[in-house]
Chains A and B, each alone.
Chain A
């Protein structure tokens, strides 16, 4: 499992899980896009957990994962899901319901 914790915060404001299936170009792309967006808009307030379903297939059931890649926002409530390679920044922000820091 690739688990990346940013800023070592005990209780991040944004708790994100990215589900992937192996190191496919699309997964790598999604992860890159996500970190970029988070760094720009949520610096210091987020945590990203990457779950590889090829390694832990049983975890797919819990978050009802079908599409790959899927980003799940577990915090703040309610749960939101964004599927796709997260290439459209605006839509990711809307999907994560991130208010601009500016």
Chain B
């Protein structure tokens, strides 16, 4: 819805820059956000009506219109007050940061208090309000005013009896102001069934803005609507607005748009395991991070880690807590080993605890802005964002707008923002009630997994713009040394966490042991086999040697035998005198050899 709104506004703006300026000149009010929804401000040189109930901020709107005109746009202004004296007005304006007295001294502002006391006035016969015209006229001429505030001319109805004269004179007055070419703001108190008590809206028909403040679930929210704007397009929605130390600002401020300077610097989440999931480097500086999860999933602990890491780097942090007191946060974080108290002592960390119902959304926003201004933190934690829902009443869109504004502001400042959001059990985890998921850069989801009679926390990165983040579910453990992320085990029955994971781990350890033993056995067996083979080789070798020896001996014996046979034969022949020739030599006995 916000994006739609934004794109519509952008479109309107584009149209305005093309054609509107030609057709209808506008007078910028300087009121933050208002000039955006009216595409430039109030119609220049025409009277506009600002109406609403008591205490809705009509006079402040008018005063800011004049003061900003005098300060920022070089247009002096005249304030004709029918209700408050100039001292009262000046006093009230100081709370918005405007020094009316100084502007008066510098001739940039002229305040005239018109007082009518019915008790000292008698009426006889015909009259007109030329005196009023002359007073306004001389005031305008005295400082060359371009802007006029009439707050509220309806008071005349209380002082004068002749309504017919009054009406015609008011009609003449507004026309006269138009002729004078001044941009006028006329305030009017809301009447029953009419925009103003005496119906002066019928005379001021160029631009009508309705202010409203409404009580919803015990919390007041201010709203503004441009009811009518003749000759110009305008945002038609009801916009929440707030009155802060710097005047009125209307939400959402679309002008902030989407052109923040961004940083490539990365900062640690304070949890090593989580940094690892985010490319090993953590979040981008100046990004906005949302952690959502059901009750007790460890959202605050994650905030504490981030704060702890930031403070350790020497960066100032601001922690908005809407559920716990500072002491409670310190104690609870001590229990997981995070000592935040030392950072408070060092002045790096500020914890700001308020009940979400303490005041309306707008005041929360104002306070956030002021504290941001005051402490200039590098990291801001809002814990939890969702409890501000009660402030938004039946209109969660308000909160979205508010968050958008906070994010816009923080992005402008380059501050890293960390929001936690409580999702109630029944909802789909991905659908935060806040509709802000599209606004954040990194979205972490904490979930409870129920299995085997226990609940375990798992964390995953649902999205993280601009980085290749892990897609793994990790088990999230709260230990005495803070949050630890564990590898989640995937078993045959799905994800294993808690005891099941521990069992799985044990099983794996067993398996490993068994494998180890098996391989050792195998090694031994092979060794044995090897050794056996070697032994066999030795035995065979010995056998071979033995055989060789035998062979040699056999050869010698053989030779011996042959020689001795020859000798015997020769001896025999000699003895038998077979061969009488004495020439026949005696055969030689060969040497024994191989």
Chain A residues within CB distance 8 Å of chain B: 19, 21, 26, 30, 33, 53-54, 57-58, 60-61, 64-70, 78-88, 91-92, 94-95
A80-B125 CB under 8 A given contacts A53-B130, A60-B131, A65-B131: no
User: Is B135 within 8 A of A60, CB to CB?
Assistant: yes
Name the residue on B nearest A97 (C-beta): B122
User: Is A82 within 8 A of B116, CB to CB?
Assistant: no
User: Is A91 within 8 A of B124, CB to CB?
Assistant: yes
Name the residue on B nearest A65 (C-beta): B131
What residues of A have a CB within 8 angstroms of the CB of B115 in the complex? 64
The complex places the Cα of A61 from the Cα of B135 at a distance, in Å, of 7
10 closest A-B pairs by beta carbon, nearest first, are A95-B122, A57-B138, A84-B125, A87-B125, A85-B125, A68-B130, A65-B131, A91-B124, A88-B124, A21-B130
User: Is A67 within 8 A of B122, CB to CB?
Assistant: no
The yes or no answer to B137 lying at the interface (CB within 8 A) is yes
User: Is B124 within 8 A of A54, CB to CB?
Assistant: no
Chain B residues within CB distance 8 Å of chain A: 112, 114-116, 120-132, 134-135, 137-138, 156, 160
A88-B131 CB under 8 A given contacts A57-B138, A64-B115, A67-B160: no
- Residue pairs across A and B with Cβ atoms less than 8 A apart, 6 shown, are A57-B134, A84-B123, A84-B126, A87-B125, A94-B122, A95-B124
Name the residue on B nearest A24 (C-beta): B130
The complex places the Cα of A78 from the Cα of B121 at a distance, in Å, of 12
User: Is A83 within 8 A of B130, CB to CB?
Assistant: no
What residues of B have a CB within 8 angstroms of the CB of A69 in the complex? 127
Name the residue on B nearest A95 (C-beta): B122
User: Is B112 within 8 A of A66, CB to CB?
Assistant: no
What residues of A have a CB within 8 angstroms of the CB of B132 in the complex? 66-67
A92-B124 CB under 8 A given contacts A58-B138, A64-B116: yes
User: Is A78 within 8 A of B131, CB to CB?
Assistant: no
User: Is A68 within 8 A of B128, CB to CB?
Assistant: yes
User: Is A67 within 8 A of B112, CB to CB?
Assistant: no
User: Is A66 within 8 A of B124, CB to CB?
Assistant: no
**Given A26-B128, A65-B131, 9 other A-B contacts at CB below 8 A?**
A21-B130, A21-B131, A67-B127, A70-B127, A80-B122, A83-B124, A83-B127, A84-B127, A85-B126
Name the residue on B nearest A82 (C-beta): B122
The complex places the Cα of A70 from the Cα of B159 at a distance, in Å, of 14
B121, chain A: closest CB distance, angstroms: 5
User: Is B131 within 8 A of A19, CB to CB?
Assistant: yes
The complex places the Cα of A41 from the Cα of B172 at a distance, in Å, of 38
Name the residue on A nearest B137 (C-beta): A57
The complex places the Cα of A75 from the Cα of B185 at a distance, in Å, of 38
User: Is A67 within 8 A of B125, CB to CB?
Assistant: no
A79-B120 CB under 8 A given contacts A57-B138, A67-B131, A88-B125: yes
B104, chain A: closest CB distance, angstroms: 14
The complex places the Cα of A57 from the Cα of B138 at a distance, in Å, of 6
What residues of A have a CB within 8 angstroms of the CB of B124 in the complex? 82-88, 91-92, 95
Contact among A61, A64, A66, A83 with B123 in the assembled complex (CB-CB below 8 Å): A83
A41, chain B: closest CB distance, angstroms: 15
A88, chain B: closest CB distance, angstroms: 4
The complex places the Cα of A65 from the Cα of B112 at a distance, in Å, of 12
User: Is A66 within 8 A of B125, CB to CB?
Assistant: no
The complex places the Cα of A95 from the Cα of B138 at a distance, in Å, of 30
B215, chain A: closest CB distance, angstroms: 37
Contact among A54, A61, A79 with B112 in the assembled complex (CB-CB below 8 Å): A61
What residues of B have a CB within 8 angstroms of the CB of A81 in the complex? 120-122
User: Is A60 within 8 A of B134, CB to CB?
Assistant: yes
What residues of A have a CB within 8 angstroms of the CB of B122 in the complex? 80-83, 91-92, 94-95
The complex places the Cα of A80 from the Cα of B130 at a distance, in Å, of 19
What residues of B have a CB within 8 angstroms of the CB of A33 in the complex? 125
User: Is A53 within 8 A of B134, CB to CB?
Assistant: yes
User: Is A68 within 8 A of B131, CB to CB?
Assistant: yes
> Which of A19, A30, A68 neighbours the largest number of chain B CB atoms within 10 Å of its CB?
A68
User: Is B123 within 8 A of A53, CB to CB?
Assistant: no
A58, chain B: closest CB distance, angstroms: 6
User: Is A82 within 8 A of B126, CB to CB?
Assistant: no
What residues of A have a CB within 8 angstroms of the CB of B125 in the complex? 30, 33, 84-88
A78-B120 CB under 8 A given contacts A66-B156, A84-B125: yes
What residues of A have a CB within 8 angstroms of the CB of B116 in the complex? 64, 66
A66-B129 CB under 8 A given contacts A21-B134, A58-B138: yes
B543, chain A: closest CB distance, angstroms: 141
User: Is B135 within 8 A of A68, CB to CB?
Assistant: no
A66-B120 CB under 8 A given contacts A57-B137, A83-B127: no
What residues of B have a CB within 8 angstroms of the CB of A70 in the complex? 127, 131
User: Is B134 within 8 A of A26, CB to CB?
Assistant: no
> Which of B120, B123, B130, B138 neighbours the largest number of chain A CB atoms within 10 Å of its CB?
B130
User: Is A64 within 8 A of B114, CB to CB?
Assistant: yes
What residues of A have a CB within 8 angstroms of the CB of B120 in the complex? 78-81
The complex places the Cα of A79 from the Cα of B125 at a distance, in Å, of 20
What residues of A have a CB within 8 angstroms of the CB of B127 in the complex? 26, 67-70, 83-85
The complex places the Cα of A91 from the Cα of B128 at a distance, in Å, of 18
The complex places the Cα of A95 from the Cα of B121 at a distance, in Å, of 8
